[in-house]
Amino acid sequence: MCRTHFFTLKALSVFLFLLSSQVFVYSAESVPDLTSAKDEVCNLMNSGRFSEAAVLVDKFIADNPGHPDLPDTLFYSIAEKCRWSDKYEEEKNLYQQIIQNYPNSSYASKARLGFSRAQIQCLILAKDYSRAKEAFDKLVVDFSGHPDLPDALYWIAERYRWAHRWQEASGLYQQIAQNHPDSPYAARASLGLARAEVLSLIVAQDYSRAKRAFDKLVTDFSGHPDLPETLYQIAEGYRWADKYETAKSIYQQIIQNHHGNPYAVRASLGFARAEVLSLIVAQDYSRAKKAFDKLVAVFSEHPDLPDTLYNIARRWVYSGDYLTARDVFQRVIQHYPTSPYADKAKEDLQIIIRGLDIFSLIESGQAQAAQEAMGQLVTDFKNHELLPHTMFTCGDKYFTKACQERDKGLQSEATEDFKRALDVWKKLVQLPNSAATVEGYYHLAGCYHQLGEYERAIEHYTKVVDGYPNYRLVWDAQFMIGHTYEKMLKAGLISESAAKPLISAAYKKVLEEYPDCAAAKAAQSWLNRN
């Protein structure tokens, strides 16, 4: 979602001054038609070219002060575009201008409702849910008979859905369907309710129930005009959950069954993007790069390509390939400089370059310089989303180096680098919780295991199992609890009478909760022997 300003306060002030002074007066015959110009602004904004749209808006204001269609052309139409860009403060400002300067126009009533709706969406975006509820209750009372109320309720529900506030979204969808059955939004709300259920189950990782709910949705709304969009949003939900094969299947369904719909084109890009991402996750980097090159060639003119490239670059970061991520971020910056993703890529590129410098220091054995650079990295990027993962990768560089040294018989050097990895990952888990936090705990446990600090290893494996039940390697953490007790028994650090019940309990839990995992056979083998 773009946050770029596309009109200037100076231009707006000039416009309002000219209106109030009424310097220009148009006759019915002399009123110029602004329809094509308005369409041009909207097209520019739809394609993310906000700076060009700003120039055109300023020209409208300069060339057409006092034009009777300006409340519609500039205020109401552009306010609606603000709404679609999540620019709620700008939207509210425009509605306020309509209310103040055109109190008797047909747009004033719409603007009052729009202002209240935008205020609620702004509060939801800011995660101020208690105030959002208060403002919502007031809106329902103040505009109970307004013909646009179902519209407002629907888009408030959508903002809750985008915030993953499923209960609030579902409640509003139900309210629209029940209280406004004759509104066009009643059918959309019913579909929205079904969509929210599927997406909430995906987020909860309850994929079997999500599939059943999805199949029912497709059957119940087979002829609904918004079905292609809904399918696309659900495919995106699976993509964000890293369930790429399911996402690809739904993209393919859109392409095959809704040919000619705009979402079929988006689904084609979505399919190609999911293919690249799935290959990266599978660590099939050679095929991933070939698929990426094909995607760029086929969809070179697609308006969503900057977004796609940016998100693929992020996935390369999470895979640990900072060099490829750097190249893709640079591509976004160079080829799409006016895209909002160019600014995001510039910000991410800073931490990528700093990370690469630290990796080089670690690999060349400059431990002190690497430690100082990491300290500065945390200071400079303490709130950056990529900081936790960059810290994790720094620790992983030390851990990999330590394993290589151990394999070469360089035990003293290996011990030092294992300890350095520990220090980095300890700092990582102290950062605000992120996807990298559980990786930090899991690898801390493995590092303690390598150093023979078995009790600390078990402590951290237990943190993974208890605190992160949906972690991709939670089954291994549970298995390693039992395996580490085995190590302690063999090392004479715990008696057989104390160890065996602990090992047995750990392995039984593996079989009970993760019966199909890769460690199940080994756990069962130990239990059979004992």
Mean pLDDT, to the nearest integer, of 317-322?
Answer: 92
Q: Is the pLDDT of residue 324 over 50?
A: yes
Over the Cα atoms of the chain, what is R_g?
Answer: 28
> Average pLDDT for residues 230-251, to the nearest whole number?
95
Cα separation, 454 vs 445, in Å, equals 9
Average pLDDT over residues 250-274: 95
Within 8 A by CB and 6+ apart from 131, the residues are: 123
Distance (Å, rounded) from C-alpha 507 to C-alpha 325? 40
Which residue in the block uniquely carries the two structure tokens 């603007």?
A: 111
Q: pLDDT at position 31, please? A: 52
Q: Three-state secondary structure along 182-240?
A: CCHHHHHHHHHHHHHHHHHHHHCCCHHHHHHHHHHHHHHCCCCCCHHHHHHHHHHHHHH
Lowest mean pLDDT among 59-63, 87-91, 453-457, 496-500: 59-63
- Fold (topology level) of 1-146: 1.25.40
Residue labelled with tokens 């029940």: 178
**Does residue 8 surpass a pLDDT of 50?**
no
Tell me the pLDDT tens digit for each residue of 374-395.
999 999 998 899 999 999 999 9
Distance CA 217, CA 264 (A): 18
Residue 175 pLDDT greater than 70, yes or no: yes
DSSP letters for 248-275: HHHHHHHHHHSTTSHHHHHHHHHHHHHH
pLDDT in the model for residue 46: 64
Between 69 and 295, the more confident residue is 295
pLDDT surpassing 60 at residue 192: yes
State the average pLDDT for the chain. Answer: 88
The pLDDT tens digits of the residues spanning 86-122 come to 778 777 877 887 787 778 777 788 889 999 999 999 9
Determine the pLDDT at residue 17: 40
Q: What is the pLDDT of residue 195?
A: 95
Which part of the chain has CATH 1.25.40.10?
1-146
pLDDT tens-digit map of 328-373: 999 999 999 988 899 999 999 999 999 999 999 999 999 999 999 9
Q: How far is CA 386 from the centre of its chain?
A: 13
Q: What pTM did the predictor assign?
A: 0.77
Rounded CA-CA distance 412/374 in Å is 23
Residues 467-483: what's their mean pLDDT? 95
Which one has a higher pLDDT value, 82 or 475? 475
**pLDDT at residue 51, rounded to an integer:** 63
- Distance between CA 189 and CA 170 in Å, rounded? 9
Query: Contact, 316 vs 324, CB < 8 A?
Result: yes
Check residue 55 and give its pLDDT: 73
| pLDDT at residue 409 is higher than 80 | yes
Rounded to 5 degrees, φ, ψ at 436 are -80, -15
Give pLDDT, residue 456: 96
Indicate the pLDDT class of residue 39, thresholds 50, 70 and 90: confident
Do 401 and 423 meet the contact criterion of CB atoms below 8 Å apart?
no
Of 12-16, 56-60, 306-310, 383-387, least confident by mean pLDDT is 12-16
Q: Reply yes or no on whether the pLDDT at 53 is more than 90.
A: no
Percent of the chain with pLDDT over 70: 87
Helix orientation angle between 262-281 and 285-298, rounded to the nearest 10 degrees? 160
pLDDT at position 47, please? 63
Q: Which of 61-75, 128-142, 339-353 has the lowest mean pLDDT?
A: 61-75
3-state secondary structure 360-405: HHHHCCCHHHHHHHHHHHHHHCCCCCCHHHHHHHHHHHHHHHHHHH
